[in-house]
Amino acid sequence: MPASDTQALQLLLERYSLGGKDLAEPGPSEAQLRLITQAALRAPDHGDLSPFRLIVIEKNARNRLADLFESYARRHGKTEESCSIERSRALQVPVTIAIIARIDLSHPVVAAHEQWACVGGAITNILNALHMLGYAGKMLSGGKVRDQALIAAFCQPGETLVGWIVAGTPSRALRAKTSKPVDKILSWFAAD
């Protein structure tokens, strides 16, 4: 096994999520975002449907996202402080990538759950690619993905707002992750 492959696997095994408060400038460049999208498109995709698309929020567009987050907080009766925290959530992150699913519920061959699995593979490969490029990130969802104003800002009819990947340069050392036990997950099929 070539050494580089062991190293690549190590990167895959050590990747973990960092949220907005641990992400600093710079975020991925446009050229890197295009590579990251290529990685997303390498997830297994039954029927070659590409059942997702990505919308990058960066630079000045973050103010528009901040307005949407703040308005969401206000409509949910949050305190002034919580509204301000929601605003800063959008502003502090160098690059946010909205994940939009395009699930064809009436596809004759590919079940909806297989399309969702492809969306999840894309999310995973985006996070893998960010990590391999020296960035960190985290997939976020929660109540905001069901907010009509946010859905209207990101989705066409029939699309689903899955959430956001926040991305940037890690502002603290990545801590070593303890490995999860595999024995609850992995078993062998008996010969008879």
Stretch 49-78 residues interacting with a second copy (CB under 8 A): 50, 52-61, 63-65
DSSP 8-state secondary structure symbol assigned to residue 125: H
By CB under 8 A, is residue 127 in contact with a second copy? yes
Q: Find the farthest-apart pair of alpha carbons in the chain and give their distance in angstroms, rounded.
A: 64
Q: Which residue has the tokens 């959430």?
A: 163
By CB under 8 A, is residue 92 in contact with a second copy? no
By CB under 8 A, is residue 160 in contact with a second copy? yes
Burial class (CB in 10 A: 0-12, 13-18, 19+), 35: middle
Sheet strands (E) in 64-154: 95-101, 136-140
The answer to whether the beta carbons of residues 162 and 101 sit under 8 Å apart is yes
Number of residues binding to a second copy, judged by CB under 8 A? 79
Q: Which residues contact 166 (CB under 8 A, 6 or more apart)?
A: 19, 20, 23, 93, 95, 96, 137, 138, 140
Quick one: which of 124, 151, 159, 169 contacts a second copy (CB under 8 A)? 124
By CB under 8 A, is residue 180 in contact with a second copy? yes
By CB under 8 A, is residue 141 in contact with a second copy? yes
By CB under 8 A, is residue 44 in contact with a second copy? yes
By CB under 8 A, is residue 114 in contact with a second copy? yes
The distance of closest approach from Cβ of residue 78 to a second copy in the complex, given in angstroms and rounded to an integer, is 19
The distance of closest approach from Cβ of residue 148 to a second copy in the complex, given in angstroms and rounded to an integer, is 17
By CB under 8 A, is residue 185 in contact with a second copy? yes
